[in-house]
Structure 1
Amino acid sequence: MPGAANQDKPARRGDALLSFGLDSTQLQALHALLSELSVTAAAARLGRTQPTLSRSLRRLRRHFGDPLLERTGNSYRLTAFAERLRPLAAAAVEAVDRTFAAETTFSPETSTRSFTIASSDHGIATAGAELFRRVRSLAPGVGLRFLPVTTELLEHEDEYLRTVDGVLLPHGYLTLASSVDVHTDRWVCVVAADNQSVGEKLTRQDLERLPWIATFTGQASRPPAWRQLELLGIVPRIAAVAESFLVVPRLVRGTDAIGVVPSRVAAAEQAGIRVLEFPFEMVPLTEAFWWHPVHDHDPGHRWLRGVLSDQRV
């Protein structure tokens, strides 16, 4: 069976699926089936008939030597192999779509292109919001699609960046991509307004003894400010984890906990909190737009980068 060997060693990149002998039609079917977990829903998504998708599923099962979808009661679930295959199929479809959407020229006044940007909630609320306003003014037909930053992005940077137009993240997370700085900010601490265990100024002892609301605690995804604390010998005592800067000020309210956020986030959430400076100088937060070098000479992408660089503050 041609795909049997692939069951144990799936492709490392989404575009490698095409080398398995699947044409773009089958690739689209694979992506829809693994996303919808239903032949009927996949057919509706692609605008094809149910018998057509059933035939595609049979062919895909023969090709990979794996059932892909297994019935459980009245629904289906992915096999272990299909779980590994799903992000590869999504990346392959995205790569194919982007290939055929490529343009030799770009006119912002008439373009209907859509740009996909991965971003933290902080990035969307600041740089993303300003980018959207500028794009609406300069190119009313151009669309923006914002995706959340995921562990997959941070751990598989090169592969992930090929599937999107770029990423809005501070310096300190990505290493392989090209970038343009968008704005600068500073890290601040937030505590509840009624937190009696903290004075008007933070001390190093406060940082060491207070419980922390942590964000993005993975080795590759910890905020640069958190890494700086560890370099100074301060190991925060984590009481809760929330992978969002925007919710940290709300979580500390009514507790003795402390959190670290960009100052713009703290400024937008003044009610019920106090904003305190670190007792020592922190490395500034520099928000940037990151992209894979394959986009370097794309005229539309170059326009987008220019819009982003013009909004630097």
Structure 2
Amino acid sequence: MDLPSIDLNLLVALHSLLTERSVTKAGETIGLSQPATSAALGKLRRHFGDELLAREGQRFVLTPLATALLDQADTALRYVERTFAARPVFEPRSSDRECNLVMSDYALTVLGGPLLALLEERAPNVRMRIRPVDLAAVDDATALLRTVDLMVLPRGFLHDLPSTDLYRDRWVCVTAVDNHAVADIITQEEFSGLRWILTFNRPTQFTPADHHLQLAGVQRDVDVVIEDFLALPFLLTGTRRVAILQERLARKLLASAGVRVVELSTDLPELVEAIWWQPSREFDPGHRWLHDLLVDAAATLQNPVPAVHLSPPSAHAAAGDTIPEVPTARTEPDR
């Protein structure tokens, strides 16, 4: 391919045409007249030897090739935008950069509020696009991190990528408030007699807590599996089911979901939520600023409530003393 002869403006037009599936709307999106957008579509059709947009009744539909090109065009456009947006310094107060993050609904619920509050205070014109963690994000994190700034993901899934710990959380059991069949503490012997809802149950998508129980050979009666943390407590209402959830999220939803926290007698691994990125981002001052923004947002979180024990609480705990925060661990190269 003769790359120098390709007009990069056609990449912008291609992405807009495939996204909007309308010449008029695509032109409005990228600021071109309808004749100019039609001309760009003609050039793209000649280049690919394909219609790309095929008329079906009163609308356009993507051809098979266009469908395959849609994600590729999006990724390529992000690469180009990021390349030409690079600056030797980053001025958050004046920047209108768009930051791209990947995080689960759990991490977004816990961290999103403090993050956006700091963003508004420090960089009022910086935009943020947040997408969920999906199967591809875990299976091919290296490729994903080429197209986004940072990903928030617990430790235990990724290796050989720079990262920084954000905060820690504890796994607890949750059940409906009126589920009197479940006591305040569940023993391992009682696990098999309860009905469970699991969050994620794939070879590369699982919670560390559930994975730990499976490796330990703990038998459970699982009849519902969902791929969503935020909805889980609401599915327990009106049932006798139980589930394992991050404590920070569980306590946020106690009242609204009508659930209560139940302790587990079995030791489960601590959840360490971290941020991950591509090594090539190290030299981008905007990336470093975003990294520090997330670390600062996490520092505002209170530690999760300590585990409930059968012995009475100490006097200072009863008085409401706070627990010192655990410092974040950094595994990225020195900056």
For the aligned pair, the TM-score class normalised by the smaller chain equals 0.7 to 0.9
RMSD value, Cα: 2.3
Pairwise CA distance, 1:19: 5.2
Aligned residue for 2:283, secondary structure, equals: coil
For the 8 Å contact 1:127–1:182, the answer to whether it is kept is no
Pairwise CA distance, 1:160: 1.2
Pairwise CA distance, 1:235: 5.5
For the 8 Å contact 2:103–2:130, the answer to whether it is kept is yes
Which residue matches 1:149?
Answer: 133
Residue 102 (str. 1) matches residue 76 (str. 2):
no
For the 8 Å contact 2:183–2:262, the answer to whether it is kept is no
Q: Deviations over 1:201-231 (max 9, x none)?
A: 2133443343332323332222222211211
How many residue pairs get matched?
297
Which residue matches 1:119?
Answer: 103
**Separation in 1, partners of 2:209, 2:3:** 43
Residue 184 (str. 1) matches residue 158 (str. 2):
no
**Separation in 2, partners of 1:262, 1:81:** 42
Which residue matches 1:299?
Answer: 285
Report which of the two structures shows the higher radius of gyration computed on alpha carbons: 2
**Separation in 2, partners of 1:75, 1:87:** 21
Unaligned stretches of 5+ in structure 2? 300-324, 326-335
Aligned residue for 2:197, secondary structure, equals: strand
After superposition, residues 69-88 of structure 1 pair within 5 angstroms as 69-88=53-72
Pairwise CA distance, 1:44: 1.5
Residue 254 (str. 1) matches residue 232 (str. 2):
no
**Separation in 2, partners of 1:302, 1:64:** 39
Aligned residue for 2:136, secondary structure, equals: helix
Unaligned stretches of 5+ in structure 1? 3-17
Q: Which amino acid aligns with 1:309?
A: V
**Separation in 1, partners of 2:245, 2:193:** 19
TM-score (norm 2): 0.80
After superposition, residues 278-293 of structure 1 pair within 5 angstroms as 278-293=264-279
Deviates more, 1:285-294 or 1:189-198: 189-198
The percent of aligned pairs where both chains have the same amino acid is 39
TM-score (norm 1): 0.86
For the 8 Å contact 2:184–2:263, the answer to whether it is kept is no
Which residue matches 1:10?
Answer: none
**Separation in 1, partners of 2:237, 2:288:** 43
For the 8 Å contact 2:92–2:123, the answer to whether it is kept is yes
After superposition, residues 87-236 of structure 1 pair within 5 angstroms as 87-234=71-218, 236=220
Aligned residue for 2:167, secondary structure, equals: strand
Runs of 4+ with deviation above 6 angstroms: none
Pairwise CA distance, 1:176: 4.5
